[in-house]
Amino acid sequence: MDQLTWTGTAGTLLLPLLQIALLALALGLVAKLLFVLAGLDGPRLPSADGTIAARSPGDFASLGIRYSFFAAVAAIFFMLAAGAVMPSPVEAGILGAMAVRFWPVWAALAATFVLSLRFRRRLGLYGKLFDSTVGMIGFAIVMFWVFTAIFADVIVTHDAFAQLSGLKNKPPGIAAPDSAYGWYLLGGDHLARDVFSRMVMGAREVLKIAPAATLFAFMVGITLGLPAGYFGGRLDTVISFLANLVLAFPVILLFYLLVTPEIRNTGIPVVLAALLFIFPIIFLTVLFNSRFYTDPTKRNIYVGLTLLIGLWAYSGLAFNRDPLGIWSMQPNMLNVFVSVVFVNSPGVFRIVRGLVMDIKARDYVAAGQTRGEGPWYIMLWEILPNARGPLIVDFCLRIGYTTILLGTLGFFGLGVSPDSPDWGSTIDDGRKLLNLFPHPAVTPALALMSLVLGLNLLADGLREESLKD
């Protein structure tokens, strides 16, 4: 079996096209920037007879950028599409073969988009996301990785931990004669494991922790930020001081102090977990109580259920003492999780506090006060729902930030098992031989970058759409 080429048979035609397009794109961008700086670029004005005045040089550069960009996108698309219809990886090339492996993701993405576009007018802010190109691209990228994480078992070509002899540091497309699939699509790493499969499994590692940790950080930040902003005064001073304390710590230093095997022996992570994990329970309990205290039956049901499920999960996650053994977390996972929540919470706190201080001056808040609502009802039901726009945007951005933080942890080898396929530690493994064999490090690096980019674009689209109201 031969080594695979990147683009297979389709590439002979499309590859030169792609090169030309990319070159033109780069030239166009440089030219445009120069024109803008030289002031040769301006808005077009209707001249006296109402026609459009002569185009400025900047406009030509813009046109060039646009067409070369479309050409490049088209070339890449056709390469992937051509690869997908080719019978074997040899003709499909590496890109095509990867496109085939991702088929469940494509199917799921297509279904999501068809359904969402169909019903977008009934879906609120989520539906409006599909009015924004940037938002849609971001959403597509994020969902790509989400589906990849879900279907990882189907997508991988090899076991992410299996080492095949003779494939150490081999370049992408190398034939793996001893395996069922036959090729290492993105080459082998320094322990002769399949880079492609590790990258796919890495998505699962990242997406398992990042959103959950961000959600917990939001619970903590909201539960503390609401009263700090609403009541102000000494309470605010104290909590804000503590939050600034955490924010003033360089994150890396904090990680080096908080995520170590030694610290696990002291039980500090468990104490932190006990402290941080109680917040979601407090949040939900207060949420339901403030709303339904006028109707005790309903209140008792909601609060009771919250406490039952919440404390059950709490005992398992924080103390690993779940009587039924369903909720539990690895000690090193708990350590990482708690640290990430701890680092993120003050940021959320600050945003929530600022939003509350802004919204609490509104008349509907005063109206709530004058009819004798309790402070928690006003915070949770009058203020919080109206702060949701900025919070959702920040949530997306913060998942990205958390992903970066998790990568940082992996990069310094903190808190993860040595052969874990998560992207941060894979980059760390690969960088030692970066000069000679870049592919094991570049692959997860690009994956991580694209996920965070997707989240940022999604946040941008959401911000744009939520401002339109």
Using CB under 8 A as the binding rule, the residues of this chain from 418 to 457 that contact other proteins are 424, 427-428, 430-431, 434-438, 441-442, 445-446, 448-450, 452-453, 455-457
Contact stretch for other proteins (CB under 8 A) within 1-9, 175-183, 282-290, 367-375:
367-375
Rounded to whole angstroms, how far apart are CA atoms 154 and 148? 9
What's the min distance (Å) between Cβ of 455 and other proteins? 8
SS3 category, 46: strand
235 vs 367, which CB is nearer to other proteins? 367
Q: Which of 376, 372, 392 is nearest to 467 (CA)?
A: 392
Give the residue, chosen from 20, 29, 71, 175, that forms a contact with other proteins under the rule CB under 8 A: 29
What's the min distance (Å) between Cβ of 24 and other proteins? 15
What's the min distance (Å) between Cβ of 291 and other proteins? 9
Q: Is 416 in the site for other proteins (CB under 8 A)?
A: no
SS3 category, 293: coil
CB 447 within 8 A of CB 110: no
Question: What is the end-to-end Cα distance of the chain in Å, rounded?
Answer: 59
Rounded to whole angstroms, how far apart are CA atoms 127 and 116? 7
Which parts of 93-132 interact with other proteins (CB under 8 A)? 131
What's the min distance (Å) between Cβ of 256 and other proteins? 4
SS3 category, 121: helix
What's the min distance (Å) between Cβ of 333 and other proteins? 20
Q: How many other C-beta atoms are found inside a 10 Å radius of the C-beta of residue 25?
A: 19
Which parts of 248-267 interact with other proteins (CB under 8 A)? 248-253, 256-258, 262-263, 265-266
Give alpha helix (H) positions in 151-194: 152-155
What's the min distance (Å) between Cβ of 422 and other proteins? 13
Q: Which of 205, 204, 145 is nearest to 410 (CA)?
A: 205
4 vs 455, which CB is nearer to other proteins? 455
Instruction: Please give the structure tokens belonging to residue 270.
Output: 């468990």
SS3 category, 160: coil
Site string for other proteins, 265-304 (x = CB under 8 A): xx-x-------------------------xx---------
CB 193 within 8 A of CB 321: no
25 vs 98, which CB is nearer to other proteins? 25
311 vs 446, which CB is nearer to other proteins? 446
| List of E strands, 290-355 | none
Which parts of 158-177 interact with other proteins (CB under 8 A)? none
Which parts of 52-81 interact with other proteins (CB under 8 A)? 58, 62, 65-66
82 vs 334, which CB is nearer to other proteins? 334
Give the residue, chosen from 26, 117, 245, 275, that forms a contact with other proteins under the rule CB under 8 A: 245
Give the residue, chosen from 319, 366, 417, 467, that forms a contact with other proteins under the rule CB under 8 A: 366
The half-sphere exposure of 88 on its side-chain side, counting CA atoms within 13 A, is 8
104 vs 211, which CB is nearer to other proteins? 211
Unique residue bearing structure tokens 């991988």: 156
CB 400 within 8 A of CB 455: yes
For the chain, helix, strand, coil in percent to 5 are 75, 0, 25
46 vs 87, which CB is nearer to other proteins? 46
Give backbone dihedrals phi and psi of 339, rounded to 5 degrees, phi first.
-65, -45
Contact stretch for other proteins (CB under 8 A) within 28-36, 70-78, 308-316, 343-351:
28-36
What's the min distance (Å) between Cβ of 255 and other proteins? 9
